[in-house]
Chains A and B, each alone.
Chain A
Amino acid sequence: MSLQAATLEAATRHRLRAWEALPWLAALGAFFLFPDYLAFGTQVLVMILFALSLDLVLGYAGIVTLGHAAFFGAGAYTVAMLAAHAGWNEPLSGLAAAALVAGLLGLASGWVLLRTHGLTLLMLTLCTMALLEQAANMFSGFTGGFDGMPGLAYRPILGLFEFDVLYFRTQYLYALAVLFACFIALRVLVHSSFGRSLTGIRENLLRMHAVGAPVRARQVLAYAVSAALAGVAGAVFAQATSYVNLAVLGLERAAGVLIILILGGYGRLYGAFVGALAYLLLEHTLSKAYPTAWQLGIGITLVLVALYARNGILGLVDALRRRWGAR
């Protein structure tokens, strides 16, 4: 891509385009077409939101973290523990509380950890998450520990829509609505001057220092916003599943969201959509057909994508468009 084209693309990027309605229409269509798949669909929507939150730090601010489930788990435990111990089971205010708790956690840990980078930062974020997981296990009287907190009940959304225990219809639309709201907010954010300064930090740290941009403060802020979004994702997960255990804080979820984002393509928001859908659909279909062997298929897919597609599936799409589509 020539420099001119790149500038042009950057300038037009924030304008909403017609195809951007597609994912939402598809998600609504899926609601009517696959009424028996909405539990799985809800998990996909939650994962998209979680991956979006990671995209803000990884794709835009260039911060590589292996501990993002710390915030997902913080959000999940916030709504679950409020419901279990304080009788606070109104879902929307629960989301706000989760965002607040996770955001503050992100602000505090970001302030301390973001002076490092590379492998050191990777290990610091990982250890912070592991620390939270151990703490949750230690205070299992409150958190339920490994066995988790069963049978949490939440009030109807807006007082109108009951959670659907068996078919997850309400949960699906709820997760979709939350995802939509968060996506719009995030889209506005990354195309604001704040978002562009983040990209500037990622692309050329020295220059941003040279022009006097408050680099670290912006990174920490981005980290906190991302943490709050991850917290919302965790909260929706806890409400939709009505169950939380230590696994929400686990390395598996943190590594999973990283894989999903890289697979879809980071730094472009829609990578989260493509990655989550592709990865979870593949895992789901393969594990149904081959309960014991599906990991082999996932592994081979990841290796192939890494070898033949730069910047994930959307990167591959771009490359193909450049090769055949450009006139």
Chain B
Amino acid sequence: MDLASILLGGLAAGMVLFVVSVGLSVTMGLMGFVNLAHGGFAMLGGYAVVLAMRHWGLPFSAALALGFVAVALLAALLERTLYARLYRASELDQVLFTIGLVFVMVAGVTLTVGPETQGVQLPAWLRGQTDLGLLKYRTYSLALIAFGVLLMAALWLGFERTRIGAQIRAAVDNRRMAESMGVDVRRLFTLTFALGSGLAAAGGGLGAEILGLDPQYPLRYLAYFLIVVAVGGLGRVSGVFFAALALGVLDFVLKVHFPKGGTMFIYALTIAFLLARPQGLFGKRA
């Protein structure tokens, strides 16, 4: 099989992982908050997209934007009212809280929408194949790759070239120092938490075509999101980007050539990598 198809397929899957996981990495790096409910926000975003398209007839892109905004607002609300009470609690209490939240989300979606898998109806221009000259490939995968690259560029610019981005970087590296320099880390956190959850929501909608969408979503993919964050290094946007792409491509290659043990190799590789580099791709040494 040709290398280009493998790369494209793997990159597309990796981009979905990137879009969903990037917010988790930044919020965990910033506040050290173990947010196992992150995948839940992705799922809620996916449902917002599906329901908005079905009931209000919104086009795909508008539904994605709506999902982003709605989930970001919900996340900001939850952060202010509930998450904030647990910043000083032990990480195990945070685990208990966020797992509880996942259960509430799972049960809530099951009871209101139903347990069935939801399909996203893509617009015509995203379906079928596109001729790239050298090869034809699945249009939606190409669109995902393009979106992921644009998002990475935007995030990079935001982090490197804006004041807020500089504040986030400073706070991830040394929170106390940043606070003593007058950075309002609490406000910063609300903002990144909302943005990160919104991005997860967009990822849930974008990825539904590939990852599927049903009430079990947050539990099923939790391990994958956490692997991406750990491999990328906490709070490192570029780390998450490359880790997600590497995971996507490797997963794809292994599944094509060793379908029998494909998933097994991913776990083995992750173990080997984390033992060699516990701080992740771009993380700083603890």
The interface of chain A, by Cβ under 8 A from chain B, is 58, 64, 112-113, 115-120, 122-124, 126-128, 130-131, 134-135, 138, 251-252, 255, 258-259, 262-263, 266, 292-296, 298-307, 310-312
Q: Can you name 18 A-B residue pairings with CB atoms under 8 Å?
A: A119-B28, A120-B230, A120-B278, A120-B279, A122-B226, A123-B230, A127-B274, A128-B267, A134-B263, A258-B95, A262-B92, A262-B96, A263-B96, A294-B107, A295-B104, A299-B105, A303-B82, A311-B93
Nearest 7 pairs between A and B by C-beta?
A302-B100, A299-B103, A306-B97, A299-B104, A296-B107, A303-B100, A295-B107
Q: Mark B128-148, 1 if CB is under 8 A from A, else 0.
A: 000000000000000000000
Inside 8 A of B226's CB, which chain A residues have their CB? Answer: 119, 122-123, 126
A302 and B227 form a contact (CB under 8 A)? no
Does B106 have its Cβ within 8 Å of any Cβ on chain A? yes
- The answer to whether residues A259 and B96 also contact, given A126-B223, A306-B89 and a CB cut-off of 8 A, is yes
B274/A120 in contact, CB under 8 A: yes
- Min CB gap B83→A, angstroms: 10
CB contacts (< 8 Å) of B108 on chain A: these are 296
Give residues 192-242 of B contacting A (CB, 8 Å). Answer: 219, 222-223, 226-227, 229-230, 234
Contact check, B271 vs A310: say whether CB atoms are below 8 A apart: no
CA A282 – CA B223 in complex, angstroms?
27
List residues of chain A with CB within 8 A of the CB of B278.
115-116, 120
Report the bound CA distance from A214 to B100 in whole Å: 38
Instruction: Please report the number of residue pairs spanning A and B whose Cβ atoms sit closer than 8 angstroms.
Output: 132
In B64-113, the 8 Å CB interface with A consists of: 82, 85-86, 89-97, 99-108, 110-111
Which of A64, A122, A123, A303 has most chain B Cβ within 10 Å? Answer: A123
User: Does the CB pair A138–B260 fall under 8 Å?
Assistant: yes
The answer to whether A296 touches B274, judged by C-beta atoms less than 8 angstroms apart, is no
Report whether A296 and B111 are in contact in the complex, using a CB–CB cutoff of 8 Å: yes
Expressed in whole angstroms, the minimum distance between the Cβ of A243 and any Cβ of chain B is: 23
Please give the number of chain B residues whose Cβ is less than 8 angstroms from any Cβ of chain A in the complex: 48
In the complex, what distance in Å separates the CA atom of A140 from the CA atom of B142? Answer: 38
Task: List residues of chain B with CB within 8 A of the CB of A266.
Answer: 92
In Å, the complex CA distance between A262 and B108 comes to: 24
Contact partner of A307 (CB less than 8 A), chosen from B34, B86, B107, B279, is B86
Cα distance, A306 to B101, chains bound together (Å): 10
Q: Are B100 and A299 in contact (CB under 8 A)?
A: yes
**Are B271's CB and A300's CB within 8 A?**
no
B279 and A299 form a contact (CB under 8 A): no
Decide: B229 and A119 in contact? CB cutoff 8 A. yes
Q: How far is the CA of A294 from the CA of B108 in the complex (A)?
A: 11
In the bound complex, how far is the Cα of B95 from the Cα of A303, in angstroms? 10
- By a CB distance below 8 angstroms, the chain B residues around A134 are 261, 263-264, 267
B118 within 8 A of partner (CB)? no
Residues on A with C-beta less than 8 A from B34 are 119
